[in-house]
Chains A and B, each alone.
Chain A
Amino acid sequence: MNIVRRAPALGAAEPPAPSGAGALAGMERSLWPRFLVAGVALMGAIVLATAVGPAGIPLDATVRIILSRLTGVETGDSLPALWRDIIWEVRLPRVLLAGLTGAVLAMAGATYQGVFRNPLADPYLIGVATGAALGATAVIVSDTPHSWQGLSVLPLAAFGGAVVSVLLVYSVARVGNTVPTTTLILAGVAVASLSTAITSFLMLRSTTHMFSVLSVVLGSFNTATWGELTWALPYAVPAAVVILAHGRVLNVLSLDEEQARQLGINPERTKLVLLGVASLAAAAAVSVAGTIGFVGLIVPHAVRLIWGPDNRQLLPMSILFGATFLILADLLARTVDQPSEIPVGIITAVCGVPFFLYLLRRARMGAYW
């Protein structure tokens, strides 16, 4: 990825029209420094979120415990065993699960926005997340075994629910070759309401599983274990590989379908592939972390507003910032009201929405999309 777009200056005064040579110089600027900074920020968030908690474990001890487990070199033997368990078995899985969920939701949101050519598409708003929750709930209340050959079936059931939702919303919302914002959101809200209603009904019918279902519906990381991470990764990682490979193609799809075809892209097949893998990843995230709103909407738009719409940087930056954002949101969720926790969805809304509105206000509406 050595070809790069010019970054539009956010909110700055209109720059003088750059010459062609200026545009070329901008294109040859590499994206890697940007990715590196975002990656370092993510690492910082992981360490910070792992170090903060009621047990009062110092930051250096946290780092030593993580490093000793990662490298196999025993450097933390002077530290209490309880600390090691708290860091490695309780906090780190939770932090990483929050990061994985944030990364996947932001990636799926950016992908839906590109495929639907619609700025309001998001796993939550178009009913994919609630459909996935319904699929997962159906398995939870059915008393069938939740895993097969070590692979959890929860993500697959969630995927089934997500795919039914996205196909239903898409077919209802589609007008000719486009998916207008209004019909997409109306259809998404309607389908989401229906699946939420069925999920609530299943939950109330099955009081023994009420807690498991509630954590899927509300979205929470407080039961996170390494197991949940290893369930979700086999779905999330291949999906990310496929989506990241389609960055340039998604740019072409942001034209209309007729132009995409005339430029050599098969729009129907490409959209099907991208919707499929984005829904698979979103469903895996919902099945382990529950439905968490706003991440898939806010993170890609923030990236777009700051660095522009090129999907080759939008998709990786959304993944990195989605992870960072949800890790920090979850950190707040478990620390602001100690000793009790508040649902992370409240934090994502309270922190994310004002920031989002601020960005929208600064950019001239519509000019960045």
Chain B
Amino acid sequence: MRGSTVEKATAALDARGLTVAYGPRVVLSDVSLSLQPGRLLGLVGPNGSGKTTLIRAISGVVAPRAGEVRLAGDDALRLSAREVALRTAVVPQNPHLPPAFTALELVLMGRTPHLGLLAAEGRADVEASRRAMQATDTWELAGRRIGELSGGERQRVLVARALAQETPLLLLDEPTAHLDVGHQAATLRLMARLCRSEGKAVLAAIHDLTLAAQFCDRLVMLHQGRVVAEGSPMEVLTPDRLREVYGATLHVLAHPLTGRPVLAPDGDTG
């Protein structure tokens, strides 16, 4: 894009000093993070810590009060909605979905930024949607109406829509929230694979710390709108920090195969 050969690859996402407020309420203050192509970054933090707001700010839905967002080097605030949508796709958390459209039609909407006003979806768009639905195990749902899908099926169709958008950066807001254990792991394994094989950059807000620790190379922890820790899962998920941020006593165990952190709460010691 910028015709320069920089010493290292341009970051897929570079957010600097982001501050976002809804009216007088500041929900993100001075958040900076950077994400290289091929990396899966987990965004963790308690409810209300600003994870969703960060994703909304990066995708151009809310304008930051201060700071800047660069998508593959381009200033996101100067890009049109369509130009942003060609660079980053979002899996939202609780979206409104029209129940009468079919799953395939919803996934095809992911092709919107690739199409001009008058263009109809062509072979390439249908192919991209089919690949995305096969990758997310939703192809057999293609003809079903959205209103007839379960919460988990809907969630995977939304992931397929984001994949069909074919962007270098994916922003996922709780992509595993409505999924069973099997599909949780499958979704995050798919993300890890997309990073490795296609060089996508993925930022995923994940509620479940243990799950995040298994699949993400790095975690960023938000607390009250600020970044309080960034690093490997082992570095970020320490008992002291968890007590401070979540107000809970958690035991950090090691995964028997990978050695990654597994969190266990204090049982009923009554």
Given A20-B142, A262-B85, A266-B80, is A2 in contact with B97 using a C-beta cutoff of 8 Å? no
Give the tally of cross-chain contacts (CB within 8 A).
Answer: 131
Q: Assess whether A127 is interfacial by the CB under 8 Å rule.
A: no
Please name all residues of chain B whose beta carbon is closer than 8 Å to the beta carbon of A369 when the two chains form the complex.
98-100
Contact assessment for A309 and B100 in the assembled complex, using a CB-CB cutoff below 8 Å: yes
A366 CA to B80 CA, complexed, in Å: 35
Question: At the interface with chain A, which of B65-73, B118-126, B243-251?
Answer: B118-126
Chain B: CB-nearest residue to A18: B143
Complex interface: chain A residues within 8 A of B84 (CB): 262, 264
Across the two chains, which residue of chain B brings its CB closest to A258? B61
Interface residues of A in 301-328 (CB under 8 A from B): 304, 308-310, 312
List 9 interface pairs A-B (beta carbons < 8 Å), by A numbering: A2-B122, A3-B122, A24-B104, A248-B115, A259-B96, A262-B89, A264-B112, A265-B81, A310-B105
The answer to whether B120 and A3 have CB atoms under 8 Å apart is: yes
**For A304, what are the chain B residues with a Cβ–Cβ distance below 8 Å?**
100
What A residues does B115 contact at CB under 8 A?
248
> With an 8 A cutoff between CB atoms, is A73 at the interface?
no
Specify which chain A residues have a CB less than 8 angstroms from the CB of B147 in the assembled complex: 366-367
Q: Which of A17, A20, A258 is the one whose CB lies under 8 Å from B92? A: A258
Considering the complex, give the chain A residue whose CB is closest to the CB of B97: A255
B145 interface contact, C-beta 8 A: yes
The one of A18, A117, A308 in contact with B100, judged by C-beta atoms closer than 8 angstroms, is A308
- Taking a contact as CB atoms closer than 8 A, the residue among B113, B121, B133 that contacts A264 in the complex is B113
8 Å CB contacts to B: which residues of A17-64?
17-20, 22-24, 26-27
Q: Cβ of B82 and Cβ of A264 under 8 Å apart?
A: yes
How does the 8 Å CB contact mask read for A243-264 relative to B, with 1 for contact and 0 for none? Answer: 0011011011011101101111
A146, CB-defined interface residue at 8 Å: no
Question: Using Cβ atoms and an 8 Å threshold, which residues of chain B touch A308?
Answer: 100
Q: Distance in Å from the Cβ of B138 to the closest Cβ of chain A? A: 9
With both beta carbons as reference points, the residue of chain A lying nearest to B90 in the complex is identified as: A262
| 0/1 interface trace, chain B 215-232, chain A, CB 8 Å (1 if under) | 000000000000000000
Give B139's nearest chain A residue, CB to CB: A20
For the complex, give the distance between the alpha carbons of A367 and B165 in Å: 27
B133 contacts A251, C-beta separation under 8 Å: no
Q: Given that A18-B142, A18-B143, A258-B92 are known contacts, is A265 also in contact with B112, CB under 8 Å in the complex?
A: yes
Asked if A20 and B133 make an inter-chain contact with CB atoms under 8 angstroms apart, the answer reads yes
Report the Cα distance A369→B99, complex, angstroms.
7
Residues of B within 8 A of A251 (CB): 101, 105, 109
Q: Is the interface of A mostly helix, strand, loop or mixed?
A: loop
Closest 10 CB pairs of A and B: A264-B85, A23-B143, A264-B113, A18-B143, A23-B142, A264-B82, A20-B142, A20-B139, A256-B96, A263-B112
The listed residue (A5, A18, A19, A367) touching B99 by CB distance below 8 A is: A367
Q: Which residues of B contact A17 (CB under 8 A)?
A: 140-141, 143-144
User: Given A19-B140, A263-B113, A368-B100, are A258 and B95 neighbors across the interface (CB < 8 Å)?
Assistant: yes
Cα(A6)–Cα(B120), bound, Å: 16
Q: A246-B117, A259-B95 are in contact. Are A24 and B81 (CB under 8 A)?
A: no
In the bound complex, residues from chain B placing their C-beta under 8 Å from that of A76 are none
A8 touches B120 (CB 8 A): no
Residue B59 interfacial (CB < 8 Å): yes
A27 and B99 contacting across the interface, CB-CB below 8 Å:
no
Q: How far is the CA of A1 from the CA of B97 in the complex (A)?
A: 24
Query: Is B102 close to A, CB under 8 A?
Result: yes
State the CA gap A214–B120 with chains docked (Å): 45
Q: By the criterion CB–CB under 8 Å, are B61 and A22 in contact?
A: no
| Residue of B whose beta carbon sits closest to that of A263 | B112
Q: A252 contacts B61, CB within 8 Å?
A: no
Known contacts: A20-B143, A265-B112. The answer to whether A367 contacts B102 by CB under 8 A is no
Bound-state Cα–Cα, A18 to B144, Å: 7
Alpha-carbon separation in the docked complex, A248 to B89 (Å): 19
Q: Assess whether B199 is interfacial by the CB under 8 Å rule.
A: no
B165 pairs with A263, CB closer than 8 A = yes
Q: B39 an interface residue at 8 Å Cβ cutoff?
A: no
Q: Is the CB of B99 within 8 A of A366?
A: yes
Interface residue? B110 (CB, 8 A): yes
- Which residues of B106-158 have CB atoms within 8 Å of chain A's CB atoms? 108-110, 112-113, 115, 117-118, 120-122, 126, 130, 133-134, 139-145, 147
**Closest approach, in angstroms, between the C-beta of A308 and any C-beta of chain B?**
6
B145, A255: Cβ atoms closer than 8 Å: no
Residues in B whose Cβ lies below 8 Å from that of A252: 109, 112
Interface centre among A23, A261, A262, A266, by most B CB within 10 Å? A262
The reply to whether B95 and A5 form a contact with Cβ atoms under 8 Å apart is: no
| Contacting residues, chain A, for B122 (C-beta < 8 A) | 2-3
CB <8 Å contact, B143 and A309: no
Closest residue on chain B to residue A25 by CB atoms: B143
By the criterion CB–CB under 8 Å, are A309 and B144 in contact? no
A-side contacts of B139, CB under 8 Å: 19-20
Cβ–Cβ contact A20 & B105, under 8 A = no
Bound CA–CA A3/B121 (angstroms): 6
